[in-house]
């Protein structure tokens, strides 16, 4: 069974940085686009970023563009989200999720999700 395990969440002050990790296992990590999705406490889902299966394309939500960077290390089967200039409204549970279709040049759906890691931005 596919496994995604996020880590790196915590409490940080506004303006600071944090890096989230997502350890993937039981599938060929480099064959799939990977996403970050977040959910503020008591609120809805918000798509954050995607990294294409070949690592060549990255797209971001407007709310994080220029502040967050998605990346991966295929040798470690790990996805990352570097978050800089954090704001109070970045407070959320951050999920990593796998795209449904392998080797796809586009990205549409999430079929496996991690359990999430909580990021709290507060002074």
Partner 1 sequence: QSALTQPASVSGSPGQSITISCTGTSSDVGGYNYVSWYQQHPGKAPKLMICDVSNRPSGVSNRFSGSKSGNTASLTISGLQAEDEADYYCSSYTSSSTLVFGTGTKVTVL
By the rule CB under 8 A, 11 interacts with partner 1:
no
By the rule CB under 8 A, 9 interacts with partner 1:
no
Smallest distance from partner 1 to CB 17, Å? 23
Beta-strand pair 117-121/10-12: parallel
Q: Which is nearer to partner 1, 12 or 91 (CB)?
A: 91
Options 11-19, 74-82, 84-92, 100-108: segment touching partner 1 (CB under 8 A):
100-108
By the rule CB under 8 A, 109 interacts with partner 1:
yes
By the rule CB under 8 A, 108 interacts with partner 1:
yes
By the rule CB under 8 A, 35 interacts with partner 1:
yes
By the rule CB under 8 A, 47 interacts with partner 1:
yes
Q: How far apart are CA 103 and CA 94, in angstroms?
A: 24
């Amino acid at each position: 069974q596919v496994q995604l395990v996020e880590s790196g969440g915590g409490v940080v002050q506004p303006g600071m940085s944090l890096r989230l990790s997502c350890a993937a296992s039981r599938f060929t990590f480099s064959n799939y686009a990977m996403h970050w999705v977040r959910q503020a406490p008591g609120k809805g889902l918000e798509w954050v970023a995607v990294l294409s299966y070949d690592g060549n394309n990255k797209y971001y939500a407007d709310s994080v563009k220029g502040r967050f960077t998605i990346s991966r290390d295929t040798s470690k089967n790990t996805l990352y989200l570097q978050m800089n200039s954090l704001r109070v409204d970045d407070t959320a549970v951050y999920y990593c999720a796998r795209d449904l279709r392998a080797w796809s040049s586009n990205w549409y759906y999430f079929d496996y999700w991690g359990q999430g890691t909580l990021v709290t931005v507060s002074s």
